[in-house]
Amino acid sequence: MKKELYSPKETAEILGVSVLTLQRWDNSGKINAVRTPNGRRRFPKSEIDRLLGDNTPTPSERNLAIYCRVSSGEQKKKGDLDRQVEYIKSRLDLKVYDNISIITDVGFGLNDKRKGLVRLMKLAQKGDISDVAIRYKDRLTRFGFNYLDMYFESHNVKIHILDGELKDKTVYEELTDDLLSIITSFSGRLYGTRSGKNKVLKDKVREAIEYVTNLPDENQKL
């Protein structure tokens, strides 16, 4: 005997949409659900067949992931992370998306094991997102952006970059942090993470960066 009523999850799988989209369709009258005696939502087979037999093309579901990153906990405390999120929201027409996820990271752009980045890539792999929005290209990664771009494109995910470059002061701060993270990694392997040489090397590199940064423009020729 064939089933006459289907759960939201079963119905969503048959129609190829998310449960949230199915709920919106029910609320808007696109599909009619019935309620069980205990108040659970169920979808008649006739309603499912009606939608499956509808020749009107249904646009693919668009799920957006907003990805934001700062390099340090201090930047997060200053509200930089929250401002990134709000800025992206203000620049996009959020009404065109069925679902919106906010994913954030606190960590260096050279770290490819950031929890938020890993989660973002898994969502793309599973087909749970169609779009990714970032303010700057280097929010995803400092180097190798093209590889990530190809990865997301292979999963039919489009990356939206809202702005071109960071402001100069922030560029110096971010690049300094990234460079020091590289120095820390290599010096830690050479001398050990607790070695005094490790700290001396980091301090000298920071001093060199500050010195070059403060040189007059005519001497900044590389």
CATH number, domain with residue 26: 1.10.1660.10
- Out of 141, 161, 181, pick the residue that ends a domain: 161
In a domain, 85, yes or no: yes
pLDDT category, 176, cuts 50, 70, 90? low
- Other Cβ atoms closer than 10 A to 133: 23
pLDDT category, 54, cuts 50, 70, 90? low
- Does pLDDT of 56 surpass 50? no
More confident site: 169 or 67: 67
Task: Identify the pLDDT of residue 165.
Answer: 57
Three-state DSSP class for 212? helix
Compute the distance between CA of residue 129 and CA of residue 121 in angstroms, rounded to an integer. 10
Q: Indicate the DSSP class of residue 98.
A: S
Round the average pLDDT of the chain to a whole number and report it. Answer: 81
Q: Which residues are catalytic, by number?
A: 71
Q: What number is the average pLDDT over the span 183-208? A: 68
Domain interval for residue 146: 63-161
Instruction: Tell me: do 173 and 141 sit in the same domain.
Output: no
- Does pLDDT of 222 surpass 70? no
Instruction: Tell me: do 91 and 137 sit in the same domain.
Output: yes
- Does pLDDT of 128 surpass 70? yes
Which of 83-87, 184-188, 211-215 has the highest average model confidence (pLDDT)?
83-87
In a domain, 58, yes or no: no
Instruction: Tell me: do 143 and 204 sit in the same domain.
Output: no
Instruction: Tell me: do 68 and 123 sit in the same domain.
Output: yes
Task: Identify the pLDDT of residue 3.
Answer: 72
State the total domains in the chain: 3
Which of 10-19, 124-133, 137-146 has the highest average model confidence (pLDDT)?
124-133
pTM of the model: 0.56
Instruction: Tell me: do 79 and 154 sit in the same domain.
Output: yes
Instruction: Tell me: do 153 and 175 sit in the same domain.
Output: no
Residue 203, CA distances (Å) to 15, 188, 196, 207, 212 in order: 60, 14, 11, 6, 14
